[in-house]
């Protein structure tokens, strides 16, 4: 790995490119959403995230291992990996996401020499090659937002050391349904800031109505409101921030499990774990192992 720094390293070229894409309505500001999420991050969410990471990797801890978090976002899973004992390298393309990850390191692992935070792009081959190899490369729900998903997947796979693991989550290919959501996401990103939240609410109404109806049919209409108030998904996230992330998440690409399997099979990987059943528009989660 590269040398460890005590402060986040910001990449001016990446920051300018990111700002330009946001201004042109070509990219969602994930980092601003994560900044809001940090205000509600608590011990329970951190524990859930840590547990979900260990379970999917089928480990009790990550002591002695290196962990690359591509698109660290809020920094929650970099934090989870560090709590499990890994030596962590986090980077993100979004300047605000870099700030979020840096803030979590400050809160829980101040000036830790085993946790580096930088700004960079997974599409930058020179940057990626400079990082070296890692025991675990992690990128959950990120690479389909780069605008060049297959290139991003290849670059991520190239950072895995022999015998190491690649843990990714990629939006499922649902055909015309996914195409419709691509339009919704691109529309959200082109809207003025004052219209974005109302738009997110509007396009979420059909799904929320279905959820309310489901609770009502079961004779528990107030269960819907309890679901919102007590929302904790298995990865420790927050309901509203998940909705905004979903509605606004652009660029947006998709891939089915078979396509991902074939892509990485050609690169010497085998599937070690997967969660791909009944995900609908959600993410196929897959852990690949690079054979020695």
Q: Collapsing DSSP states into helix, strand and coil, what is residue 10?
A: coil
Q: Confidence band (pLDDT; 50, 70, 90) for 233?
A: low
DSSP type of residue 275: E
The mean per-residue pLDDT over the stretch 245-265 comes to 93
Distances (CA, A) of 63 to 86, 160, 166: 5, 17, 17
pLDDT in tens, 53-94: 999 999 999 999 999 999 999 999 999 999 999 999 999 999
Q: Collapsing DSSP states into helix, strand and coil, what is residue 28?
A: coil
pLDDT in tens, 142-154: 999 999 999 999 9
Q: Confidence band (pLDDT; 50, 70, 90) for 7?
A: low
Of 8-12, 69-73, 285-289, the least confident:
8-12
Distances (CA, A) of 23 to 17, 27, 29, 191: 10, 8, 10, 11
Mean pLDDT score of the chain, rounded to an integer? 89
The mean per-residue pLDDT over the stretch 216-223 comes to 81
185 phi and psi, to 5 degrees?
-65, -45
pLDDT at 230: 65
pTM: predicted TM-score of the whole model, two decimal places:
0.84
pLDDT in tens, 185-219: 999 999 998 999 899 999 888 888 887 888 888 88
pLDDT reading at 1 higher than 50? no
What is the arrangement of strands in the sheet containing 283-290, beginning at the earlier edge strand? 115-119, 87-92, 66-70, 134-140, 160-171, 283-290, 269-275
Integer Cα distance of 158 and 198 in angstroms: 41
pLDDT at 131: 97
Distances (CA, A) of 121 to 95, 156, 201: 11, 11, 31
Integer Cα distance of 280 and 256 in angstroms: 11
Q: Confidence band (pLDDT; 50, 70, 90) for 274?
A: very high
Residues 6+ apart with CB under 8 A from 39: none
Integer Cα distance of 187 and 11 in angstroms: 28
What the block records as the tokens of 153 is 């997947």
Question: Domains of the chain, with CATH numbers?
Answer: 12-173+252-290 (3.40.50.150), 176-248 (no CATH)
CA 78 to chain centre: 11
Half-sphere exposure of 161 (CA within 13 A, CB side): 12
Whether 259 and 170 have beta carbons less than 8 Å apart is answered as no
The mean per-residue pLDDT over the stretch 160-177 comes to 96
Query: Taking the alpha carbons of 120, 124, 128, 130 in that order, is the dihedral positive or negative?
Result: negative
Cβ-count burial of 289 within 10 angstroms (0-12 exposed, 13-18 middle, 19+ buried)?
Answer: middle
pLDDT in tens, 34-61: 787 888 888 998 999 999 999 999 999 9
pLDDT at 83: 98
pLDDT reading at 273 higher than 90? yes
Which residues pair with residue 165 across a beta bridge? 136, 289
285 closest CA partner among 45, 56, 46:
56
pLDDT at 5: 40
């Amino acid at each position: 790995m590269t040398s460890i720094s005590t402060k986040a390293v910001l990449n001016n070229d990446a920051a300018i490119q990111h700002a330009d894409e946001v201004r042109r309505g070509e990219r969602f500001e994930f980092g601003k959403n994560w900044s809001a999420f940090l205000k509600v991050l608590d011990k329970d969410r951190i524990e859930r995230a840590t547990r979900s990471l260990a379970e999917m990797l089928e480990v009790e801890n990550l002591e002695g291992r290196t962990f690359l978090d591509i698109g660290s976002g809020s920094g929650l899973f970099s934090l989870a990996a560090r709590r499990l004992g890994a030596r962590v390298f986090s980077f993100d393309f979004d300047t605000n996401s870099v700030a979020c990850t840096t803030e979590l390191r400050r809160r829980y692992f101040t000036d830790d020499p085993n946790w580096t935070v930088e700004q960079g792009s997974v599409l930058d081959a020179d940057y990626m090659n400079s990082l070296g190899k890692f025991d675990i490369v992690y990128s959950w729900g990120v690479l389909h937002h780069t605008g060049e998903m297959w290139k991003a997947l290849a670059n991520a796979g190239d950072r895995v050391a022999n015998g190491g693991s690649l843990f990714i989550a990629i939006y499922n290919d649902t055909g015309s349904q996914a195409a419709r959501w691509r339009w919704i996401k691109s529309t959200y990103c082109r809207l003025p800031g004052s219209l974005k939240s109302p738009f997110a609410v509007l396009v979420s109404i059909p799904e929320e109505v279905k959820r309310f109806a489901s609770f009502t049919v079961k004779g528990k209409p107030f269960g819907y409101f309890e679901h919102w108030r007590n929302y904790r998904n298995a990865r420790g996230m927050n309901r509203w921030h998940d909705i905004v992330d979903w509605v606004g998440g652009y660029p947006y690409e998709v891939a089915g499990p078979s396509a991902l399997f074939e892509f990485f099979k050609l690169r010497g990987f085998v599937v070690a774990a997967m969660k791909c059943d009944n995900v609908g528009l959600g993410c196929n989660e897959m852990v690949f192992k690079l054979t020695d």
